[in-house]
Amino acid sequence: MSALHSAQVLIEAVSVASAAAVSFGSTNLDNLAIVSAYAAKSGYRPLFVKLTFMLVCLAVLLVSLALAQAADALPKDKIRYLGLIPMGIGGYHLAKLIKRRSSADSRRPDAPLGPIGVAGYVGFASALLANSGDSVIVMTPLLADLEPPFVIGCFAAAVAMALLMSMLAGLLAGHPAWSAKVEKISEWALPFILVGIGALIIAS
């Protein structure tokens, strides 16, 4: 019976960690396009660009964890309703995309600009942080109401995903056309992923 219980715990841990990795990765697809653009810029060192991205990801995860701990003050049976937040954000993004599509507004945001050097990397980090609100919105309810071992697993899975994405950004930097495709796909995929993750949080 203990072996069966251990197997169930392992399956649950892998499932939760996988959900964390997918959630964090999907909400960072837009940042992936930004990172690859910066890595390809003349004067920017790809290693420093990747390190900056990793530091921003760690900061976002720590903020999400802190907010998740604060959410523990909520009644246990109410925490799952935090899933309505990513669902609402996803619905908002989807409505915004449909409205823009119907008005034939095909303008894309300009790539972030900044002076080369320390100030340039600070500007780059600021652009990433400004784009990371959706990550916090999704990761906070996901980390809430989890036992410490599961929280550690989720955190590790998200960090591993961030590392994988930083490596992928290096590859995309050599192929700007790929970066543009990632940005275009993420624009439409993100709303549906946010709604799906929100539904998963409510269901669990």
CA atoms of 27 and 24, how far apart (whole Å)? 5
CA atoms of 92 and 118, how far apart (whole Å)? 35
* 137, pLDDT greater than 70: yes
DSSP state of 83: G
- Please give the residue that has the higher pLDDT: either 123 or 51: 51
- Please give the residue that has the higher pLDDT: either 160 or 105: 160
The pair of structure tokens assigned to 201 is 């949080």
- Please give the residue that has the higher pLDDT: either 103 or 126: 126
Local confidence band at 114 (pLDDT 50, 70, 90 cut-offs): very low
Residue 197: the pLDDT is 65
Q: How many beta carbons lie within 10 A of that of residue 158, not counting itself?
A: 28
* 109, pLDDT greater than 50: no
Residue 182: closest CA among 169, 167, 193:
169
Please give the C-alpha separations between residue 188 and each of 69, 117, 180, 193, 194, in angstroms, as whole numbers.
31, 34, 13, 9, 11
Residue 178: the pLDDT is 66
The pair of structure tokens assigned to 68 is 């998740």
Local confidence band at 101 (pLDDT 50, 70, 90 cut-offs): confident
Residue 176's SS3 state is helix
- Please give the residue that has the higher pLDDT: either 33 or 168: 168
Q: pTM score, two decimals?
A: 0.66
* 86, pLDDT greater than 70: no
**Mean pLDDT value across residues 182-198:** 67
Local confidence band at 57 (pLDDT 50, 70, 90 cut-offs): very high
Residue 161: closest CA among 16, 45, 67, 54:
54
Domain ranges of the chain: 15-76+110-184
Radius of gyration of the chain (CA): 18
CA atoms of 178 and 186, how far apart (whole Å)? 12
Local confidence band at 115 (pLDDT 50, 70, 90 cut-offs): very low
DSSP state of 147: -
* 45, pLDDT greater than 60: yes
Query: Hey, which of 42-51, 109-118, 162-171 has the most confident mean pLDDT?
Result: 162-171
Residue 63: closest CA among 14, 136, 130, 117:
136
